[in-house]
Structure 1
Amino acid sequence: MSKAYMVTEGRDYYQEMLRLGQDHTGRVRASSSRSRPRKVRIREYKIPDLNADPCLDMDEEETGEVVVGFRPQDADYSLNVPQLPYELEFLNKRFSRLLKEGKIFKVRRDRGVVEPFVFMRSTGDTSWTMFDKDFENYKNVPMLPLPPDSSFFLGDKESLCAGTHLIVTGNEGESIALWRYELETSQWFKGPAMITPRVLFASATFGTVAFVAGGLKMYGDTSKEVVNGAEKYDSVTKTWTRLQGMNKRRQFCSGCYLRGKFYVLGGKDENDNNLTCGERYDEGTDTWELIPDILKDASFSSIQSPPLIAVVNDNLYSLETSANELRVYDTNANAWKKLGDVPVRAKSSGGWGVAFKSLGDKLLVIGASAGPSRTEKMSVYTCCPSADPENKLVWEESKRSCDVQLNHFILNCCVMIA
């Protein structure tokens, strides 16, 4: 099987999987009856252009029979056969095996044809919803295999992505538990736990790995400790590695991966004081560099969320919640430049309930609309930002997401690049 074939089949499989919603098995529905012949149209298949649109064509005729084919084609044959041809059956089994082994996604990464998927959970949701980058297709992620009255199920949770893994952490009784969802198999697994389990930490994703730093370590019901420890998760080996600790202890902080380094901004120290400094981690030297006053102009309130930050095209952007305003960081001046308004209401909740993420070469913001209608439904906006304040911001609202009934208050949101 060529790499080009594996890459394109992987892309087509997940676009079709998202379109089908709940049906994530990847199996073609077929009748078990052998009493009547099935009509299967077999078309000549060529290795497609990786830059072309998905070409998997799966239709169902009025008779309820399944028609399987590929576009483009040079020949169109109609055969009456009693069951799926052996070659197609073998191909489906082989593809499923390669998918579960993670080889499809590895080839995609090696060839640079990855794309973002958005995992999100809002108030009232019992499971995550997975969207494609255009919010045109979606599917419900299977629920966690936990009883609905468990403390982990009911409590606050945090999420991040690494490779094809969605990592979710939260309190489970007197401890902190971690669950991972694997895209290849669409299944949940418990662990592996962090070396230092924590909540309220900063995180950032880089390819198949994720970095975490800071947070709150809990001992039983009452004892808590703000930490400065850092770790790295490798989704290929499913292991955590301890990193050098930060200069400052901090919780309620935010992280990003910028120009080859892991940044941690803001948060509160062990005395509950707001931190205006940041730090950046160099994996090559396993060292942290303090960045004084990177948030010196930020506004703080009693209900303030962790900083809302995102990286697009090697530029760091923030959503200043006190003004519903987009800003960009000037590394040389250690200052933030104002770029314009953001079309969601972040001020009233101190930034809580708003998703602000990078989505390839775009910024993604989700929340309650700040427009004249001020509806309480979930609104999704994207823009291609410019670091030049002279360039006007153009936000585009995704109308396709209106078919999804989610609350406007977003509890968890993270972007998977797979």
Structure 2
Amino acid sequence: MILIVGTIPIILDMYDDSSSASEGEEIGETKEIAQSLACLTSQNAYHVAPQLLYELQVEIFARVPCPEYWKLQFLNKQFSQLLKSSEIFRTRRELGLVKPYFFMLSRSDRRWTMYDEDFKTSQRLPKLSSGVSFFSGDKETTCVGTQLIVIWRSEEGIRVWRYELAMHKWFKGPEMITPRVMFASASHGTNAFFAGGFTISKNGVEVVSIVEKYNTETKTWASIPPMHRRRKLCSGCFLRGKFYVIGGQNENDENLTCAESYDEETNSWELIPNMLADMSLSISQAPPRIAVVNDTLYLLDTSLNELRVYNVNTNTSKKLGTIPVMAHVTKGWGVVFKSVKDNLMLIGASFNRLHSRKRGIYKSCPSPDMEEIHWEEICCRGGSLNHYILNCCVMLA
């Protein structure tokens, strides 16, 4: 349950399997502000939530850790409506309180786990009732706004589910205009872009150049112009204001070294030849492992366990040294490579743990001017990261 004591929100755990440690910094700020607000009223120590001014409610709860928000819906209808309006998350952005959260699913898990950026706390998401086929089929995940979008191939076809952080619930749909998997995706603001992949029908599998955009506020899909090339097993990112789709394979299962960039202002695509010409590409390897830090693109050469940095002006890349995980063993599959603030985050089977099933977690603050990158290992105190990681994406909330 939730109590408002002296305008300080106290949120008690009502979901036994959603363990999450408090974020001390945010709680400290909450108490400090709430105590200063308390002097504005001459009421008794215990206040009924509806008596709080709407602005004060938003200001206070914007400082509560995000994993706790779903509990507000049980206080009263007013707080439930507040959550659905997304006003709290807008206020967090305005106040600079947005933080990154990792959403991951490993091969042995039946539920996603949410971690904070330092892997000090974790929370299990509710079970997704989707049948056995969900865990055996291809899955793709993308975070956009405060939603986790999961698209997978089931026996009934390609399905879409979304997890909404504010409500701590899974919702079905909405379905894509052209359902497909193994696409490239990236999010920007309230929109997520999905490019390429392959469709499945009674006529077989077809690699496509189709591109769609999903909006979290309207929960609708819209078509945008197709790419120049059909491609699957490709990767996407936003770089210098444009949506990039990199690498992958064409309809003949041939590796593509080209990329394409989409400009929303001109609503058009530009083909970028030989963007991956310096990379070692092999059969059956994972989609390109890419991450963007400070508008600079970094890539993993998983065959050689090397990190490269891309120069957008010369369309070339250079080596920045080796990585501390054995990406070559699985050809990049099961390896997590993401950007968080000014850091690169890398998760995979560590060279330091050859006989252990635990994943190593590493971070580094890169620069395109450095000669060799240095990695710092992080201790995962929010629960051990075992096994092979199937899906991972980062939410800013």
Provide the TM-score with structure 1 as the length reference.
0.79
How do 1:195-214 and structure 2 match up within 5 A? 195-214=177-196
How do 1:17-416 and structure 2 match up within 5 A? 22=18, 53-56=25-28, 85-87=47-49, 93=76, 94-147=78-131, 149=132, 151-220=133-202, 223-371=204-352, 375-390=356-371, 392-399=372-379, 401-402=380-381, 404-416=383-395
- Residues 344 and 248 (structure 1 numbering): CA distance in 2 closer, same or farther, change over 3 Å? same
**Conservation of the 8 A alpha-carbon contact between 1:303 and 1:349:** no
- Secondary structure class of the residue paired with 2:26: coil
- Residues 327 and 231 (structure 1 numbering): CA distance in 2 closer, same or farther, change over 3 Å? same
Kindly state the Cα deviation for residue 74 of structure 1 after the two structures are TM-superposed.
7.8
- Secondary structure class of the residue paired with 2:83: helix
- Residues 155 and 13 (structure 1 numbering): CA distance in 2 closer, same or farther, change over 3 Å? farther
Kindly state the Cα deviation for residue 406 of structure 1 after the two structures are TM-superposed.
3.2
- Residues 13 and 118 (structure 1 numbering): CA distance in 2 closer, same or farther, change over 3 Å? farther
Q: Which amino acid aligns with 1:160?
A: T
RMSD: 3.1
Q: For 2:318 and 2:201, locate their aligned partners in 1 and report how far apart those are by CA, in whole Å.
A: 42
Task: After superposition, give the CA deviation of every residue in 1:245-269 in whole Å (9 maximum; x if it has no partner).
Answer: 0000000101110010000011111
Task: After superposition, give the CA deviation of every residue in 1:280-306 in whole Å (9 maximum; x if it has no partner).
Answer: 000111110000000112212223111
Task: After superposition, give the CA deviation of every residue in 1:7-54 in whole Å (9 maximum; x if it has no partner).
Answer: xx9xx999x98x986168x9xxxxxxxxxxxxxxxxxxxxxxxxx932
- Secondary structure class of the residue paired with 2:351: coil
Task: After superposition, give the CA deviation of every residue in 1:297-323 in whole Å (9 maximum; x if it has no partner).
Answer: 221222311100010000000011111
Deviates more, 1:403-412 or 1:211-220: 403-412
Kindly state the Cα deviation for residue 360 of structure 1 after the two structures are TM-superposed.
1.5
Kindly state the Cα deviation for residue 408 of structure 1 after the two structures are TM-superposed.
3.6
- Secondary structure class of the residue paired with 1:98: helix
- Secondary structure class of the residue paired with 2:250: coil
Q: Which amino acid aligns with 2:290?
A: I
**Conservation of the 8 A alpha-carbon contact between 1:379 and 1:408:** no
Q: Which amino acid aligns with 1:128?
A: W
Rg larger in 1 or in 2? 1
**Conservation of the 8 A alpha-carbon contact between 1:369 and 1:376:** no
Task: After superposition, give the CA deviation of every residue in 1:165-194 in whole Å (9 maximum; x if it has no partner).
Answer: 100011122410000000110111111111
Kindly state the Cα deviation for residue 277 of structure 1 after the two structures are TM-superposed.
0.5
Q: For 1:117 and 1:212, locate their aligned partners in 2 and report how far apart those are by CA, in whole Å.
A: 21
Between the aligned residues of both structures, percent identity stands at 49
- Secondary structure class of the residue paired with 2:103: strand
Q: For 2:207 and 2:10, locate their aligned partners in 1 and report how far apart those are by CA, in whole Å.
A: 43
Ranges in structure 2 where 5+ consecutive residues have no aligned partner:
1-7, 58-74
Q: For 1:367 and 1:109, locate their aligned partners in 2 and report how far apart those are by CA, in whole Å.
A: 31
**Conservation of the 8 A alpha-carbon contact between 2:115 and 2:382:** no
Q: For 2:268 and 2:36, locate their aligned partners in 1 and report how far apart those are by CA, in whole Å.
A: 59
Q: For 1:374 and 1:386, locate their aligned partners in 2 and report how far apart those are by CA, in whole Å.
A: 33
Q: Which amino acid aligns with 1:22?
A: S
Q: For 2:175 and 2:293, locate their aligned partners in 1 and report how far apart those are by CA, in whole Å.
A: 30
Q: Which amino acid aligns with 1:207?
A: G
**Conservation of the 8 A alpha-carbon contact between 2:121 and 2:383:** no
- Residues 303 and 374 (structure 1 numbering): CA distance in 2 closer, same or farther, change over 3 Å? farther
Kindly state the Cα deviation for residue 397 of structure 1 after the two structures are TM-superposed.
1.5
Q: For 1:402 and 1:345, locate their aligned partners in 2 and report how far apart those are by CA, in whole Å.
A: 22
Deviates more, 1:254-263 or 1:165-174: 165-174
Cross-structure match for 2:60: none
- Residues 274 and 99 (structure 1 numbering): CA distance in 2 closer, same or farther, change over 3 Å? same
Kindly state the Cα deviation for residue 213 of structure 1 after the two structures are TM-superposed.
0.3
Q: For 2:383 and 2:142, locate their aligned partners in 1 and report how far apart those are by CA, in whole Å.
A: 22
